[in-house]
Structure 1
Amino acid sequence: MARWENIESVQLFREYLRIESVHPNPDYEPCVSFFRRYASSLGLPIMVVEAVPGKPVVIITWQGLCPELPSIMLNSHMDVVPVYEEHWTHPPFSAHLTADGWVYGRGSQDTKQLAIQHLEAVRRLMQAGVRLRRTVHITVVPDEEIGGAEGMHAFTLTPEFRAMNVGLELDESMPPADCGDDIVVFYGERTSIPFKLTARAAPCHGALLPANSVGDKLHYVLSKLFEMRTAERKKLESGIPLGLVTSINLTVLEGGVQVNVVPESLSAKFDVRLAPEVNLKDFQNKVLSWCEEAGDVTMEVLQQKVQVPNTRIDDSNPFWVAIRDTAEKEGYQLTPVICPGATDAQYLRRAGVPALGLSPLPRTPLLLHSHDERLHVDSLVRGVGVFEKMVKALGDV
């Protein structure tokens, strides 16, 4: 344990984990102060941008020899999801280091380790006297865990972001499913379309049996959606990865006044993530047609999304080639997948910037958002080494 405690990256990682930047009311100022000290230790300039008041975006910049070239952006987020402390073996904000090298803490996999790995990789390169052609920006953003609307999305609309001239963004991914040494790379995301269905009909007494009641109308559309859901489940069970399957989940039911009254309206909310080949507008029109067939059922899209193309992962993308070749040289296998959820990379792709999610987390159980989220010291340090090599390769593309 003493050996691990004396590693600078481990000390910084544990210090960062102890900052309770946890939803629903994260205090970001301690994180900003932490990164101000970090930037000072590296001798690098830091800028803090608040596109939305109280939502700071930290930018630490290592200028390249050819600053006119599109830059490399290494991104992570400082916010973490809530915890159920009674289910943790060690307090979730203690950054407890066990005798066998595991650091417990909320955010240890999602994604406080990434900021440390990014910055420590840059430190190693600077100490080795390396100078890159491209500028590298290390960014740390707020609010990713609640959708990023007032974090990364708002930031990409600022003149400060445009001035960064980003050519590639690296964001988060996840540990490999088999706890092996592969590196999972997210090159795209499913398109989210959360929506609310509301059926309306004349109310009546619960003892009657009306035709075309509010329940009948809502049931018609729900049955169509659940038929589609069953077909997608079969794809998943056949071995198709989740990122290539459309997920359809009923998440909220609303309505009714009391048990003996057939109400005037009933509503249902759905979380739907469309597979990459499914057209957003076509899906929306299909649901609207079912609503029309049912009669007096409306569809309200709760958060407008746009469908953006995936980042190319072939020889036409020189950044991908640099990442792939570096990983192979270092003995790592890349596993490209479509992200089953959503990350801040979506906003970079929307802004026309290629983005890849890449979190080196070898020999790590998948514990994002789980009880006892933890990371082994060896995985943290190996990840620093991975980024050291990849940043060097990307910076000289």
Structure 2
Amino acid sequence: MRKLKFSANTCVFQQCIQMWITIKCLRFTAACVEFLKRQADSLGLPVDVLYPVNESNPVVVMKWLGKEPELPSIILNSHTDVVPVFADKWTHGPFSADLDDEGRIYARGSQDMKCVGTQYLGAIRALKASGFQPKRTVYLTYVPDEEVGGHLGMRELVKSDYFKKLNVGFSFDEGISSEDETYAVYYAERTLWHLKLKISGTAGHGSLLLPNTAGEKLHYIVNKMMEFRESQVKRLKEDSNIDIGDVTTVNLTQLRGGVQSNVVPPLLEVVFDIRIAITVDVDAFEKQIREWCAEAGGGIELDFEMKNPYVEPTKTDESNIYWVAFKKALDEIGLKTRYRVFPGATDSRYVRHAGIPALGFSPINKTPLLLHDHDEFLRADTYLNGIEVYKKLISAVANV
């Protein structure tokens, strides 16, 4: 493993990744808690371990006391879970944190988002060493379950009395790597639905042309959803000023039904993953889907496996003092930034839903987008530069 300058901070990142060998990326277990406790102890920060839902899903909270703790606090949030891997598709061990001769650290979670969680630590270590103490108290929150919806993590944490006592004014969270020289800052997220349609129809022998079958209704509904999808593809193609986060995405992800090849089934099910643009009226969109179901012949039940509510975007104007400080700090560093709607879903949606402004940002540019992909990697110099960026951002926002 090649040695780099400032390897101590890189080593913390590698230890974080290697910790997942022990827990096999399935749960945020005792090994992860102990790792974070050691980091808190080395920084001289008090730490709490909470269990908002159950003991299999702990939340770790570190506290950096501010000079004016009565002011609303800042949270630096990251999630500790990762998605599974197909190890045979990797050229390096997915949990080995191998550093190659070009300075690339290969590991599941290297972009999403173990880098951010440990860059916070590196930035605070450097700030404390310089004698800096923030005006506002800063909390580092390490939560589980984000990759599968956050229902056992941040969603319940923000409802707790513990969280309310933190008096949070602003939240940092993850963004996405950029392949060019720019850095993306995310101020909002689309509304996520996982919609199952249970389509009932006339059942019978496969040799007949029965009326009002589930298959006919399925055909109608799928056509309507795909026509809408194509309108969004067209919009994205024709307007160079928008990206995927600015349109509504509709994808058919599951089909189920039937008993055997010569029986017309009484029920078919289809599931759509839908991410609704922040400019779309979610109630009107649901009404449109219900109208399509009626036009198809009725007998169609809408079963929302996930139905997130519309959440107001974080304000990006002078009314948001945290935004002003965040943007000013980025400008002073000289980073070229883009302000976007996050295309997926992060824990920020739960924080924003609680009325707290949140920005998603990962200080990663000129890097292939590999989160959830094989051979996910992050360059060591990009990681170390991110610590410098967070030193500026955290000090600016915590002192606003």
Aligned counterpart, 1:32:
33
Pairwise CA distance, 1:3? 4.0
Give unpaired runs (5+ residues) of structure 2: none
Q: Secondary structure at the match of 1:188?
A: strand
Aligned counterpart, 2:219:
219
Identity %: 42
Aligned counterpart, 1:66:
68
Aligned counterpart, 1:131:
133
Query: Does the Cα contact within 8 Å between 1:23 and 1:81 map onto a contact in 2?
Result: no
Matches within 5 A, 1:67-86: 67-86=69-88
- Aligned mates of 2:130, 2:331 — CA distance in 1: 23
Query: Does the Cα contact within 8 Å between 1:319 and 1:394 map onto a contact in 2?
Result: yes
Query: Does the Cα contact within 8 Å between 1:190 and 1:274 map onto a contact in 2?
Result: yes
- Aligned mates of 1:88, 1:222 — CA distance in 2: 36
- Aligned mates of 2:382, 2:392 — CA distance in 1: 16
Query: Does the Cα contact within 8 Å between 1:218 and 1:297 map onto a contact in 2?
Result: no
- Aligned mates of 2:325, 2:337 — CA distance in 1: 12
Aligned counterpart, 2:355:
352
Residues 15-59 of structure 1: CA deviation (Å, up to 9, x unaligned) = 000122777732421111001000000111001111011111111
Query: Does the Cα contact within 8 Å between 1:71 and 1:137 map onto a contact in 2?
Result: yes
Change (3 A) 1:388 1:244: same
Query: Does the Cα contact within 8 Å between 1:76 and 1:140 map onto a contact in 2?
Result: yes
Matches within 5 A, 1:270-349: 270-294=272-296, 295-349=298-352
- Aligned mates of 2:61, 2:214 — CA distance in 1: 52
Pairwise CA distance, 1:319? 1.0
Once the two structures are overlaid, the 10-residue window that deviates more, 286-295 or 20-29, is: 20-29
Q: Which amino acid in 1 is paired with 2:202?
A: A
Matches within 5 A, 1:1-397: 3-4=3-4, 7-20=7-20, 25-53=26-54, 54-178=56-180, 180=181, 182-238=182-238, 239=240, 240-294=242-296, 295-397=298-400
- Aligned mates of 2:227, 2:6 — CA distance in 1: 57
What's the TM-score, normalizing by structure 1? 0.97
Pairwise CA distance, 1:342? 0.3
Q: Which amino acid in 2 is paired with 1:384?
A: I
Query: Does the Cα contact within 8 Å between 1:186 and 1:339 map onto a contact in 2?
Result: yes
Residues 140-184 of structure 1: CA deviation (Å, up to 9, x unaligned) = 110111110111101111111111111000000011132x2x221
- Aligned mates of 2:6, 2:213 — CA distance in 1: 69
Q: Secondary structure at the match of 2:250?
A: strand
Change (3 A) 1:7 1:28: same
- Aligned mates of 2:202, 2:35 — CA distance in 1: 59
- Aligned mates of 2:96, 2:5 — CA distance in 1: 14
Query: Does the Cα contact within 8 Å between 1:23 and 1:79 map onto a contact in 2?
Result: no
Q: Which amino acid in 1 is paired with 2:357?
A: P
- Aligned mates of 1:90, 1:284 — CA distance in 2: 45
Query: Does the Cα contact within 8 Å between 1:74 and 1:169 map onto a contact in 2?
Result: yes
Q: Which amino acid in 2 is paired with 1:207?
A: S
Q: Secondary structure at the match of 1:379?
A: helix
Pairwise CA distance, 1:216? 1.1
Pairwise CA distance, 1:6? 5.8
Query: Does the Cα contact within 8 Å between 2:111 and 2:376 map onto a contact in 1?
Result: yes
Query: Does the Cα contact within 8 Å between 1:254 and 1:267 map onto a contact in 2?
Result: yes
Q: Which amino acid in 2 is paired with 1:45?
A: P
- Aligned mates of 2:267, 2:120 — CA distance in 1: 52
Q: Provide the aligned length of Structure 1 versus Structure 2.
A: 395
Q: Which amino acid in 2 is paired with 1:185?
A: V
Give unpaired runs (5+ residues) of structure 1: none
- Aligned mates of 2:174, 2:18 — CA distance in 1: 21
Pairwise CA distance, 1:328? 1.2
Query: Does the Cα contact within 8 Å between 1:109 and 1:368 map onto a contact in 2?
Result: yes
Q: Secondary structure at the match of 1:18?
A: helix
- Aligned mates of 2:343, 2:203 — CA distance in 1: 41
Q: Which amino acid in 1 is paired with 2:17?
A: L
Residues 339-390 of structure 1: CA deviation (Å, up to 9, x unaligned) = 0000000000011110100110133221111111111111111000000011
Query: Does the Cα contact within 8 Å between 2:28 and 2:58 map onto a contact in 1?
Result: no
Once the two structures are overlaid, the 10-residue window that deviates more, 236-245 or 117-126, is: 236-245
Q: Which amino acid in 1 is paired with 2:224?
A: K
Residues 41-80 of structure 1: CA deviation (Å, up to 9, x unaligned) = 0111001111011111111110001101011100111111
Residues 121-151 of structure 1: CA deviation (Å, up to 9, x unaligned) = 1111111111211001011110111110111
Change (3 A) 1:16 1:65: same
Q: Which amino acid in 2 is paired with 1:340?
A: P
Pairwise CA distance, 1:100? 2.1
- Aligned mates of 1:243, 1:131 — CA distance in 2: 37
- Aligned mates of 1:100, 1:23 — CA distance in 2: 27
Pairwise CA distance, 1:99? 2.0
Q: Secondary structure at the match of 1:130?
A: coil
After the TM superposition, list the runs of 4 or more consecutive aligned residues in structure 1 that deviate by more than 3 angstroms. Answer: 21-24
Change (3 A) 1:184 1:23: farther
